[in-house]
Amino acid sequence: MPVIQHEQFIQAPAKLCFDLARDVDIHTKTTGATKEKAVGGVTNGLLEEGDTVTWEATHFGIRQQLTAKVTFMEKPSQFNDVMVRGAFKSFIHTHRFVEKEGGTMMIDTFDYKSPLGVVGVIADKWFLEKYMTAFIISRAEELKKVAENIYHNG
C-alpha cells in the first residue's frame, strides 16, 4: 500500500489555503491536465464534512469517475476524503494545513491501495505511484499559485 506525502509552503494564511483546497471550483481549475470536473454530489462551492463529490477525469487516456466523501474536518487545519467508488481498491487523502511564519505548510498524505492484487502492486512499481505523486505535486503547486495570488493581490 503506497503512501505519498507532499509538503507545499504557501505564502498565505491557513484558513485561505484550507478553503481553497476544499473548493470544488478551485479543484477543477487546479487539475486542468486531467480535465477534472464535478459531475455528482457537491458540484460547486466548499465541501463540508459528510459531503460527497463525484469527479470525472481523464487518466491514462481513459475517461473515468471517482466518488469521494469528506469523512473528517477540523477547520482550518485538516480534512480527509475517502474514496467511495472508483478505480482504486481504496484511498484516504489527508489534507493538513499548518501555520508557519510567513504562511502555511500544506501537507498532502495520499494512502491508497491499487486494485487487481499482484497486477496492481506491479502497476504501482512501474508507473502508478510516480503518476499519483506527480498529480498531487502539480495540484499543490497550482493551489499555491491561486492562494498567493488571492492573498497578495486581493
The boundaries of the domain holding residue 68 are 3-153
Q: What is the pLDDT of residues 33-60, one digit of tens each?
A: 899 999 999 999 999 999 999 999 999 8
The angle that helices 14-21 and 129-153 make with each other, rounded to 10 degrees, is 130
Maximal CA-CA distance, the chain? 50
Give the CATH number for residue 69: 3.30.530.20
Residue that the C-alpha cell 488571492 belongs to: 150
Tens digits of per-residue pLDDT, 97-136? 999 999 999 999 999 999 888 888 888 889 999 999 999 9
CB 46 within 8 A of CB 70: no
Which residues does residue 37 pair with via DSSP β-bridges, in sequence order?
56
Query: Model-level pTM?
Result: 0.94
Residue 140 near residue 108, CB atoms below 8 Å: yes
String of DSSP letters for 20-74 = HHTBHHHHHHTTGGGT-EEEEE--SSB--TT-EEEEEEEETTEEEEEEEEEEEEE
User: How many domains is the chain built from?
Assistant: 1
